[in-house]
Structure 1
């Protein structure tokens, strides 16, 4: 078994009686390989939750698999969409107490119906949507259907029986089951939420602690959005790179919580704005540019397009490493709504024809380089969005930021070639930045 350092694996059984130097773990624990050159058949690993390190017998673990991206994967496998009452009744046969499904209300568009089998009958409860909350009895209110089903699975409340068994929609697979089988489902009871560190478009982000590890938690309350984010998360399980923000796992509780490593120094724009030239020298700026480029080169090698690359979506770790975040989700959520496209960062062909590709990411990377070397200034200063669109289309390009090395500015310019095929790959950009770095460290000696 050849495991690389950084590989995450899942324990197949308990190992409680550890010999000196060995790691204690339980079945299902997630371990990260630290060093494979220790002794034959063993490797050194760190326990993802206790943080302890020790030797592990390689036959006792399996690699933590990436989730298959599967359109059938659902946070709400019991949701059947728009079906009639009689159809719901026929789906809940043979009768079984606590067997249930949720459908859209035909009579009251915008509302839902919870259908539950009890004593041989199917009872239909209208779920009313009011003031952004859902309720059956005006006593209990819920943010979303996931939240409601979770509640009535544990409490009978004012319905005839607790919900015991979801009737899955044909073709739907329970996300909870799949996440748990592949080792990506985390335990809500082990999470402590701390302060709110940001409001995203889709939900809040909190600092937190997961079994001794500092984490960031993105909470998504709206069930439709949560479902779309589930796809982002499946993409994230496949990606491991030092310049991409690392996914630790997912918690399903009143919606979806995406748990990632905590990047203590916040996003790159604020990092640069609050420190400025006196604190951050140009070698450090180049280092950030290279970090982002390496993360993007990795995404390029996986044929993944980011679509929203900008310094606000790059986070800085404790030890000042820049990592790309918010990749994966951008495919499904942004494009239908081209109003929301970040115009100053988006390549002309993507604005006009919604043609997104690695080459449009390269364009955005050019703008991100400009943000880095201007210490976090807003691109196209003093220009309106309409002006930016028209003038860039007509061939206008930004001037170099003050004191920007000529070599770096020429890289920005080739990222902004009007024709996508003339723009370099991230691989090529990385080589050029490394040369630039060597030049710069010669002169700064």
Structure 2
């Protein structure tokens, strides 16, 4: 039996060692009576791997030994248009229709509909004591209210409140009546282990204002994190697709998703990239601090992240230095997957970044890895110009016209000829003539070989000592 026992231990350790620190796992069974040093957990709990045999419990924060045979890696969320943050929202239906949907009557069964009588307002319909109550939800000063006492950011916020407090309505909301064809995003996030606990999050200072909401730094179970907060219902729903895509991606050069919190809207929690975005990083340091080898290193980091997306047949659509973040140890990572999609069409409502977008994507909305390669060429220009705005002194209209006519930007000052040649190959008018990210990486590695005198790790140290942050 001894050799067999040894074999099991080796396999167990191999399984553990194949997971990097920080990997999220879900428990397959209960372990309620742990031995000293072991971690207690229930089936379905989420743990974070610390090292080959230790994990932290995502809810209790406790750390201890675990058996690899009793955990599985947290699974990706399926990209599914029917996944809804508001499965109880039924759109524009009448009062009698709502009453029909809330049958058979059940205390606390509820739905929300758009008001037909008062456009722009909503109605909360709740079943109580055999009848259905209709509460008008008034939209006032960018907030929602039923009683002019309690105000809410959005419908998610309102339903969250009345599911815990009776307030001015007849009964606490107990059971959502799901709209046909929708699935509860909250339930799916919880089942797959991506739903995080708001009580374990400490929010810190505001570190940025995005187009869709604020970004804060914070701490979740002892780990420094960035939190993107999205309060608008419709935007939050759109970002559910981004979140689903992010659950599938694991690469050292992509910003890592830790999970999602549903509280007064949607909170997307990622690893914290303390040095901020690449364009500001380069602008605030300049040539005296960051040399050409380090610029190549950043270019290679981004390329490796994009090569990974290419291998997954994912298109980023908004690749630019502002969407590249820099970690504590000066690793560049691709972020902001807001526009990332598996398909090749983009909604008309999305404003495209003209200076970074390939001609065929601007004209015909044809997005592909090859349109990302065009954007990467512009990003290379940003890197080697130390964060200058592309097409200096040109209006967006001029950029469109001139690029269509064959104009291409000149090389930034002191840009290595091999790098500029790579940029221009990314800007081929015909998408099929542009290189793949795999080819770009090979060329960058050759370029790195020409410029690097030896191991490049000390360069990161030099930046750290010279940057003051």
- With the length of structure 2 as denominator, give the TM-score of the two structures: 0.88
Q: What is the correspondence of 1:11-410 to structure 2 with a 5 Å cutoff?
A: 11-12=27-28, 13-14=30-31, 17-18=34-35, 24-27=39-42, 28-32=45-49, 34=51, 43-47=52-56, 49=58, 56-331=66-341, 335-337=346-348, 340-410=351-421
Alpha-carbon distance in 1 for matches of 2:142, 2:445: 52
1:51, distance to aligned residue in structure 2 (A): 8.7
Deviation at 1:138, TM superposition (A): 1.2
Offset at residue 31 of structure 1 (A): 2.5
Name the Cα RMSD after superposition: 2.1
Displacement of 1:215 in angstroms is 0.2
SS, match of residue 340 in structure 1: coil
1:10 aligns with one of 5, 9, 26:
26
8 Å Cα contact 1:195-1:206 kept in structure 2? yes
User: Offset at 1:72?
Assistant: 1.6
What CA distance in whole angstroms lies between the structure 2 residues aligned with 1:412 and 1:249?
Answer: 36
How many angstroms apart in 1 are the aligned matches of 2:303 and 2:444?
9
Query: What SS does the corresponding residue of 2:303 show, helix, strand or coil?
Result: helix
Tell me, in whole angstroms, the C-alpha distance in 1 between the residues paired with 2:349 and 2:294: 35
Structure 1 unmatched ranges of 5 or more: 35-42
Paired residue total: 434
Q: Provide the secondary structure at the position in 2 that maps to 1:389.
A: helix
In structure 2, what is the Cα distance between the partners aligned to 1:370 and 1:11?
A: 47
Question: Relative to structure 1, is the Cα distance of residues 48 and 380 closer, same or farther in structure 2, using a 3 angstrom cutoff?
Answer: farther
Q: Structure 1 residues 298 and 249 mapped into 2: Cα distance closer, same or farther (>3 Å)?
A: same
Distance 1:33 1:358 in 2: 35
- Retained in 2: the 8 A contact 1:11–1:31? no
SS in 1 for 2:319: coil
Q: Give per-residue Cα distances to partners, 1:273-295, cap 9 Å, x unaligned.
A: 00111111111100000000000
- Could you tell me how far 1:190 is from its partner in structure 2? 0.5
In structure 2, the residue matched to 1:423 is: 434
Q: Distance in 2 between matches of 1:428 and 1:25?
A: 48
